[in-house]
Amino acid sequence: EDYLTLHVRDMAMNQAKIIASNDSIISAVKTRDYKRLATIADKLQRDTDFDYVVIDGEAGIEQVNRRVMEKVTHLILVSDASKKGLKVVKTIHEVAQKLVMYESDGLIINRIPDLSLREEIDAGDLRVLAMIPDDHQMSANDMRGNTVFELPDTAPIYQGAEEALYQIGILRKEGERNP
């Protein structure tokens, strides 16, 4: 089982690297050609056999306003716990409700310096999928140039991401059925 998990992770990383190294994608990102990025994203969703296509948009509302992603299955917003970050995420969510078709949505709040302050975090009407504390293991891993897949499954960021995927319904606990 561990071998299979590692093999699947390696395959996913290799596919991601191949897609990310595509000259057309690199050019569209560098020139901020949002129309071409939207076409590429649509093609990836439509013409591949990937179970999921993850689009990690730039921070801010620009991606939504320019309709880079017009239709997604899961809209997952990510913010730190700052008032400014949460305000931006709420605005993005309001605009996305008008411009993006999606089946489910939620918010991941990461880099929380002190989890005892979680009650003070105002996410508005956004469903919080996970609250992830500041993860020093991730920071050290990042400094070494390692991927998130090289973290132990006990790392806070790994556990938080897994919780978010369960909350939004991408992962299922053993014995659970699709809704």
pLDDT value of residue 63: 66
pLDDT value of residue 130: 96
Sign of CA dihedral 69, 122, 173, 2: positive
| Residue 37, CA distances (Å) to 8, 51, 97 in order | 27, 20, 21
pLDDT value of residue 64: 72
The percentage of residues in the chain with a pLDDT greater than 70, rounded to a whole number, is: 80
Q: What is the mean pLDDT of the chain?
A: 82
Quick one: average pLDDT of 126-134? 95
Q: What is the pLDDT of residues 2-40, one digit of tens each?
A: 777 777 767 776 676 666 667 877 787 778 787 887 787
Q: Which residue has the higher pLDDT, 158 or 2?
A: 158
pLDDT value of residue 111: 92
Lowest mean pLDDT among 3-17, 98-112, 132-146: 3-17
Quick one: average pLDDT of 145-171? 89
Please give the structure tokens belonging to residue 118. 């979680």
pLDDT at 119 > cutoff 70: yes
Q: Which residue has the higher pLDDT, 67 or 88?
A: 88
Name the strand (E) or helix (H) holding 110: strand 104-112
